[in-house]
Amino acid sequence: MRDALRRVSLGYLVLAATAVAYIVVYTSRLGRFPTSFDYLSILNTTLPLVFVAIGQSLVVLTGGIDLSVGGMVSVCVAVTATTVSSSITWLFVVLAIGTACGALNGLIVAYGRIAPILTTLATLSIFTGLGLRVLPVPGGSIPQEVRLVLTNPATPTGLIWLGLAVAGWLVLRRTRFGMRVYAIGSDEASARAVGVPAAAVKLKVYALSGLCSALAAVFYVSTTTSGDANAGNPFILTSIASVVVGGVAFSGGRGSALGAVAGAVALTLVIDILFFSGIDPLYQSLFQGLFLVVAVLLGTVAALAARRRRQA
């Protein structure tokens, strides 16, 4: 677990470095420190990615990958944007839909024995289609009251939700289920041999990833105030990037969703840094890509150095 701590702290280091860079660039550009409004807008735009990243990190911790987060976010965005205006209870239906989509993935992966990357590739297409069915053209809306509670642009309600997400993870980490997630990611065959019901745990993990996507969708509609059935697509790659930058091992078993949260915030900050440094936004992905590879390389180098030290 010491190793995991080291990896997580790398995620935090990356976040700290980007945060410092953000403040420096912002201040030198505008001649004043960022205001609470700036922080709040960063927070609110990051929240959807934070949720998807938490779900993705759970899946990656078991040694899997979830490409269908894009589709699940899309479906839930579509449903949220078209229904919540009529009744707030639809919010809970959205969460149920996300969970059900995730559970479908889990069933196929755990009991159908199809590789996670392939399962979620196929369901991505299905869920995206479903989203289009619900919301063929961008549109829809969300009641102002919901927005004020979820992503109030004036008061930091987002902070509460971020806190709840983090607390949720901390609670999960302290359940037997949480321990089993790590056990499966560390070595699924061994975990099964010592009595971990691997299939059941994986089913729950994918369902949770679906729930996280649904939460992300709700916050997404809340910040953008309307829906788009293609809204989920960018989350596939950004959630993977967050998880990676956050120091979760792709082989599973090592890392933490908190690292992924840090990674998600760092990724969002990078965009703002580029904006304030006056770099052409067209180059944005170039720097995001470099950021991703460099962060992982740093992690690899740190792990290598640690191993050298241990061997010596």
Partner 1 sequence: MTETSSMAPAQAEPGSETLAVRASGVDRAFGGVQALRDASFAARPGEIHALAGENGAGKSTLIKVLCGLIKADKGTVEIFGTEVSRVVEPAARRRMGVATAFQELSLLPDLTVAENLLLQDPPRGRLGLVQRRRLAPAAEEILNRYGVDDIDPRATAADLSVAQRQVVELVRVLAGEPRVVILDEPTAALADRQVDWLAGHMRRLRDAGSCVIFTSHRWREIESLADRVTVFRNGTHVATRDTLSEAEAVTLMSGRSFAGAYPQITTEPTDDNALSVTNLHSGRLAGVDFDLRRGEILGVGGLAGQGQRDLFLSLFGAQRVRRGTIAVDGKAVTIRSPKDAIRAGVGIAYVPEDRKAEGLFLPLSIRDNIAAATLSRRATAGFVNRGKERAVVKSIVDQLNIGAGRSTNRAADTLSGGNQQKVVMARWLLTEARILLLFDVTRGVDAATKHDIYELVGTLAAQGRAILYYSSETEEIAHLCHRVLVLREGRVAAELAGPVGDAERIVAASIKEGQDA
Partner 2 sequence: MSSRRVLYALGGTVAVLLVGAILHPGFASWSSLRVMLVVASFTGFVAAGQMLVVLVGGIDLSIPWVLNGAAIVLTTSSLGQTSRAPLAILLALGVGALVGLGNGMGVAWLGVPAVVMTLGMNGVMQGLTLGLSKGLTCASCGSYAPEPLRGLFDGALPAQLFLWAGVGLFMTVLLTLTTFGRRVYAVGVNPRAAFLSGVGVRGVTVALYTLSGVFAALAGIALVAYGGQPSLGLGDPYLFESIAAVVVGGVSILGGRGHYLGVIAGSLTLVAVTTFLQAQRVPEYGRLMIYGLVILAILFAYGREKAHD
- Binding residues for partner 2, rule: CB under 8 A, are 65, 67, 108, 112-115, 117-119, 121-133, 136, 189, 192, 237, 240-241, 244, 250, 280, 282-293, 296-297, 300
C-alpha 183/C-alpha 36 separation (Å) is: 41
Q: Look up residue 219 and give its amino acid.
A: F
Shortest gap between Cβ of 89 and partner 2 (angstroms)? 25
Cα–Cα distance for residue pair 217/22, rounded to 1 Å: 27
Answer yes or no: are the C-beta atoms of 202 and 184 closer than 8 Å.
yes
| Residue 289: CB minimum distance to partner 2, A | 3
Which residue's structure tokens are 């809340």? 222
Amino acid at 130: L
Q: How far is the CB of 169 from partner 2 (least distance, A)?
A: 22
Stretch that binds partner 1, among 10-18, 27-35, 122-130, 169-177 (CB under 8 A): 169-177
Single residue of 197, 283, 289, 297 touching partner 1 by CB under 8 A:
197
The reply to whether 189 sits near partner 1 by the rule CB under 8 A is yes
180 binds, among partner 1, partner 2, none (CB under 5 to 8 A by kind): partner 1
174 binds partner 1 (CB under 8 A): yes
Among 71, 102, 247, 253, contact with partner 1 (rule: CB under 8 A): 253
Question: What is the distance between the alpha carbons of residues 220 and 77, in angstroms, rounded to a whole number?
Answer: 7
For the bound state, the minimum distance from the C-beta of residue 46 to partner 2, rounded and expressed in Å, comes to 18
Q: Which of 24, 160, 171, 294 binds partner 1 (CB under 8 A)?
A: 171
Show the 3-state SS of 247-276: CCCCCCCCCCHHHHHHHHHHHHHHHHHHHH
Phi, psi (5° rounding) for residue 231? Answer: -60, -30
- Residue type, position 57, single letter: S
Which residues are 227's β-sheet partners?
A: 139
Residue that is written with structure tokens 């996507």 in the block: 213
- In whole angstroms, the minimum distance from the beta carbon of 170 to partner 1 comes to 10
Residue 65 contacts which entry, partner 2, partner 1, none (Cβ below 5-8 A, type-dependent): partner 2
Query: For 256, left (φ over 0), alpha (ψ -120 to 50), or beta?
Result: beta
Catalog residues that contact partner 1 under the rule CB under 8 A. Answer: 1-4, 171, 173-176, 178-180, 182-183, 185-187, 189-197, 253-254, 310
